[in-house]
Structure 1
Amino acid sequence: MKMKRKWILWLLAFLILLPSAYLLYTYQSIKSTADQIYEERKPSPVLPTFVQDRKAIQIGDNNKNIKEADPFTVLVLGVDQRPYDRGRSDVMILMAVNPLKGSVLLFNIPRDTRTDIVGHGTVDKINHAYAFGGVEMSVSSVENFLQFPIDYYIKVDMEGFSSIVDSLGGVTVNNGMRFEYAGYNFDQGVLDLNGEEALAFSRMRFEDPKGDLGRNTRQREVLKGILHKLLRVTTVFKLESLLDNIGNSVRTDISFEEMKVFVTEYRQKLKTVEQVEIAGHGQKINGIWYYIVDEKEREDITSTLKTYME
């Protein structure tokens, strides 16, 4: 009888410890992948004063603090990597996250926008900043263009983008026009897309009457679909699978500690995704086509951001 009780106790101990051990293993696996994709952003030597003075939401070991429901901004860079250079950021989307308002604001910075390239001393298309100086120059140029600070960045290799979408089980988008591209047919209306379809959907440009602006709208639709899926990631198992899939395709300066806070404190507060568009016009200067955003429009976008982040 004593031997039987002993075996029962061992069995109970095993059943209790096994899930704990698995959760610990899963936690360590998630942390390892989060550390792998973490890439600290170097401070720009040419930062506007308003960026230097602003205290971004930050936590960790560097005397950083985070308040519950602090708003923050994220610049998403979709990069086509090339064999012999770092490529260009053909996707530039700003996400303004405000849990107090329960929403995320999305808008593209059109890739051909003519602006100062901070740290390079030139006026050029804003997507060239990445080719000249990587993430740091891209972020600094966007901050200068918007006159608003960027707290974080997420850089996505577009070739690995489809695996990210597939790891989430696909995305749902609302397509404003029917078109064919890269062997896929996209009907008008609500569509469920897998990774390869989402990549093709977000890349079509020349057949769209709105050109790059139409593509920007589709890119935001895909990101909106991804956000909706991410906000429903409720288990560590899904998070582990997602991080495994993005390990080789994503780099970010969002640390593992910050990810944990965003998942535990922010996810349930965010209910809606709003979208705006930067207005401008096309113009050739010295034979090169640019997207021109006038000063009034830039001021309006900056004002919108400031109001949204209050």
Structure 2
Amino acid sequence: MARHKPKKKSKLLRIVLLVLLLLVVAVAGYGYSIYHNINKTAKNIHTPIDRTPEVARPANLSLANKEPFSVLMLGVDEREGDRGRSDTIIVMTVNPEKQSIDMLSIPRDTRVEIVGKGIEDKINHAYAFGGVEMSMNTVEKFLDIPIDYYIKMNMEGFQEIVDAVGGVNVNNDLDFSVSGTHFPEGQISLNGEEALKYSRMRYEDPRGDFGRQLRQRQVIQGVINKGANISAIWKYDDVLQALGKNVETNLSLDEMMDIQKNYKEARHNIEQYQIEGQGTMINNVWYYIVPQEERQRVQGLLKDHLNIS
């Protein structure tokens, strides 16, 4: 009987190796499927933009060399036959050396020079007048920093993205109810519909639009945290479908991969800012006026984070 044991062990070894091989092939196939679908979605949402920057970089940006970069995030309520306005305007700067992200909200009623229009108006009108290009140029001149990339998001579809990552967690500092939903103070979990209501409320907040901006940044940070979690891999198809329907960006797949490779630790340290100013009526129109000193203060913070002297 002893002479047959090596054969049984050899047979068992071959079975184990065969099972391992099948698992490797299955995982590789799953990995290829993920890559194929990511590539397809990236091409679908990739919308390059040809513009002359208001603030040019001294040299071309290199994500492969881990240089700091900036992104303009626009939340747009688009309707059929109407381009809409960018009621959510957030500038993000990412610094891999400092392993941090700075997130600045710009109030939509901020009075600025609309670049390409030759007038002073509310900053969210830049998108209505000239789309992403005019928005980038206007924000660039207002903040005096280069805007490298943009991400435009359809706010009506934003709830699909939140649902796709399995909801978000936020720390709510104000007890309130809106549209039949109660949001208690403290750590709460939100699905897509709740996140949209949470991020849009401002009339019951004594801080007005500043409170709304804070909640918007919280939800976006929650999406970033959930999207980076390993559990999101199992929902990747839902995530890609939601992104494909609701997002446009000039980031290519290669650039996205460079960011994932070289900048992923920055998401653990997100600093949130807002611009101080005051509201006033000009020609019977309400504007948010940012003093020059405050504008320079914010510009200095962003330039420092982008390593711009």
Verify same fold: TM over 0.5.
Answer: yes
Compute the displacement of 1:222 (Å).
1.0
**What is the deviation of 1:244?**
2.1
Deviation at 1:20, TM superposition (A): 2.4
Q: Which moved more, 1:174-183 or 1:221-230?
A: 221-230
In structure 2, which of residues 277, 299, 304 is the aligned counterpart of residue 307 of structure 1?
304
C-alpha change, 1:244 and 1:121, in structure 2 (3 Å) is: same
Contact 2:176 2:183 in 1 (8 A): yes
**Over alpha carbons, which structure has the higher Rg?**
2
Report if aligned partners of 1:57, 1:151 keep a CA contact under 8 Å in 2.
Answer: no
Describe how 1:73-112 pairs up with structure 2 within 5 A: 73-112=70-109
Change over 3 Å in CA distance of 1:233–1:133 after alignment to 2 = farther
Q: What's the CA shift for 1:237?
A: 4.3
Cα separation, 2, equivalents of 1:293 and 1:12: 63
Following TM superposition, by how much is the alpha carbon of 1:56 offset from its aligned partner in structure 2, in angstroms? 2.7
Cα distance in 1, alignment partners of residues 239 and 82 from structure 2? 28
CA gap 1:13/1:268 in 2 versus in 1, 3 angstroms: same
| 1:30 counterpart = 2:53 | no
In structure 2, do the counterparts of structure 1 residues 177 and 35 end up closer, same or farther at CA, with 3 Å as the change threshold? same
How far, CA to CA, are the matches of 2:87 and 2:205 in structure 1? 17
- What secondary structure is seen at the aligned counterpart in 1 of 2:56? helix
In the TM superposition, residue 210 of structure 1 has moved relative to its aligned partner by 1.5
Structure 1 segments unaligned to the other structure (5+ residues):
59-65
Q: Is the 1:169–1:194 contact (alpha carbons within 8 Å) kept by the matching residues of 2?
A: yes
2:114 alignment counterpart? 117
* CA 1:115–1:233: 2 relative to 1, 3 Å: farther
TM-score (norm 2): 0.89
**Aligned-pair CA distance for 1:270:** 3.7
- Secondary structure at the aligned position of 1:276 is classed as strand
Task: Work out whether residues 26 and 237 of structure 1, in 8 Å CA contact, stay in contact via their aligned partners in 2.
Answer: no
Instruction: Return the letter of the residue paired with 1:187.
Output: P
Equivalent position SS for 1:100: coil
* Correspondence list, 1:1-310, <5 A: 16-44=24-52, 47-48=53-54, 50-51=55-56, 53-57=58-62, 66-68=64-66, 70-233=67-230, 236-310=233-307
Distance (Å, rounded) in 2 between the aligned partners of 1:164 and 1:20: 27
Corresponding pairs, count:
296
Report if aligned partners of 2:280, 2:289 keep a CA contact under 8 Å in 1. yes
On the 8 A contact 1:172/1:225 being kept in 2, the answer is: yes
CA 1:276–1:14: 2 relative to 1, 3 Å: closer
Between 128-137 and 181-190, report the one with greater CA deviation: 181-190
**Contact 2:96-2:262 at 8 Å conserved across structures:** no
Question: Is the contact between residue 154 and residue 253 of structure 1 (CA under 8 Å) also seen in structure 2?
Answer: yes
* TM-score (norm. length: structure 1): 0.88
1:19 is matched by which residue type in structure 2? V
What percent of counterpart residues are identical?
A: 46
Where does structure 2 lack aligned partners over 5 or more consecutive residues?
1-6
State the AA in 2 paired with 1:30.
I
Secondary structure, counterpart of 2:44 in structure 1: helix
Counterpart residue number, 1:63: none
Give the distance between the partners of 1:15 and 1:193, measured in 2 at CA. 36
Deviation at 1:11, TM superposition (A): 7.6
1:58-102 deviation digits (Å, cap 9, x = unpaired)? 5xxxxxxx303x211111100000111110000001111112111
Q: What is the Cα deviation at residue 17 of structure 1?
A: 3.4
